[in-house]
Amino acid sequence: MDVYRTSESNFLTLLENIASNRELFVPADDHGEIAYKNWDDLGQSSVQFPKNRIGTPPKVFFFPPKEEVSTFPSDKGGPERNKRAVFGLKACDLSAFKVLDRVFLDEEFVDPFYAIRRHDTLLISSDCYQVSDTCFCNKVGGQPYPEERGFDLNVTKTPDFEDLIVEFNPDSLEAQEIYEKNSDLFEPANEKTLEKRTAFRTSREEKLDEQNSFFEVSEDVSDIPPDDPMWRDFAEKCVECGACNLSCPTCHCFQLYEKEEGSSVSRNKVWDSCNFKGYSRVAGGANPMESLESRVRNRFYDKFGRIYENHGFYGCTGCGRCIDGCMGDIDMRDVLKEVTVENKN
């Protein structure tokens, strides 16, 4: 068994030890909100144990909003190696890698920038302590704690137990090495501790089931064409800000743009949003997704249709960040509910 218990202060010692040979990012207070901060720049703020996913999607560590990907005429080469660790990811954040890995680590083409960061970054996840009212991971095959071991380490904090429960992924050499070096900080978790963890996890799942009983998820979104009035109704609320795409942990669209610097030209990869009007415009001005309805539909079709049809799983992790971020109050769950209603009619 690779599950241990430890005190919160011992866990902070563990983080400090990890930070001694890796660049470590942790959730910390940032003017009243929780954001990722570099361990070395924490200053007065302290490490937070986020109750649920924090606003920043973890893709920023692997697929940053903007980066230089090549130079011309001679290419400077791939990204630099840098050992990193991120603490505070949730199960939904880990499941986002299912989608991103499919995109950036394809068999034929591999994005070297993503691949190297994925390899060199240690993932330290934690159970959801309190689910947000916009969370719906339970409806897309997830749960408020990591089940498939996409993590290196996972930490569980429960309300009625002082210690933390830490699980080391037995398939991760890095995790095993960290345990070996820090074993004096841990003691094995006994049966009772594990039972507490299970009970706590079940209670979070029940909460999710309860708050999300009003809708069903279905890939039938593919069957609702762009000219269906339901898209017009949602498009009327959309202000085309792109927050849904930018906050989404699985949205991966980018555009390439070039910049001239002296005799060298750099090519840059920058996040893009299918919510923006110019997204699918081609030379000469034709634009297959000119209407906002078609763009609003596309986001849902992509998550629940296209990705499902190609890979057999949903492209949405149920994190609910797009619901929190939407200025027009579009709730993805309402869209899914409407899809079910439409398809019954």
Residues of this chain that interact with another protein (CB under 8 A) are: 69-70, 72-73, 75, 77-78, 81, 94, 97-98, 101, 103-106, 108-112, 115-116, 118-119, 148, 150, 171-174, 222, 225-227, 252-260, 265, 267, 269, 272, 274, 279-286, 288, 294, 298, 302, 305-306, 309-310
Q: Which is nearer to another protein, 199 or 256 (CB)?
A: 256
Phi, psi of 270 (to 5 degrees): -130, 135
In terms of Cα–Cα distance, which of 122, 60, 58 is closest to 94? 58
Q: Which is nearer to another protein, 25 or 271 (CB)?
A: 271
Q: How far is the CB of 15 from another protein (least distance, A)?
A: 20
Query: Which of residues 195 and 227 has its CB atom nearest to another protein in the complex?
Result: 227
Q: How far is the CB of 11 from another protein (least distance, A)?
A: 23
Residue number with CB closer to another protein (140 or 274) = 274
Which segments of the chain are extended strands (E)?
A: 3-6, 23-30, 33-38, 66-72, 84-89, 121-126, 153-157, 164-168, 187-188, 254-261, 264-271
| The two structure tokens encoding residue 59 | 């893709």
CB of 109 to another protein, least distance (A): 4
Q: Write out the H or E segment, with its range, that includes residue 237.
A: helix 229-237
Residue 109 or 214 having the CB closest to another protein: 109
Closest contact distance (angstroms) between CB of 149 and another protein is 9
Question: What is the nearest approach in angstroms of another protein to the Cβ of residue 7?
Answer: 29
Taking the complex as a whole, the smallest distance from the CB of residue 281 to another protein amounts, in Å, to 6
Nearer to another protein among residue 1 and residue 110 (C-beta): 110
Q: Which is nearer to another protein, 237 or 311 (CB)?
A: 311
Can you spell out the DSSP letters for 194-207?
A: HHHHHHHHHHHHHH
Name the β-bridge partners of 166: 4, 155
| Three-state SS at 156 | strand
Closest CB 37 distance from another protein, rounded Å:
25
Burial label, 40 (beta-carbon count in 10 A; 0-12, 13-18, 19+): exposed
| Alpha carbon distance 316, 302 (integer Å) | 9
Backbone angles phi, psi at 329, to 5 degrees: 60, 35
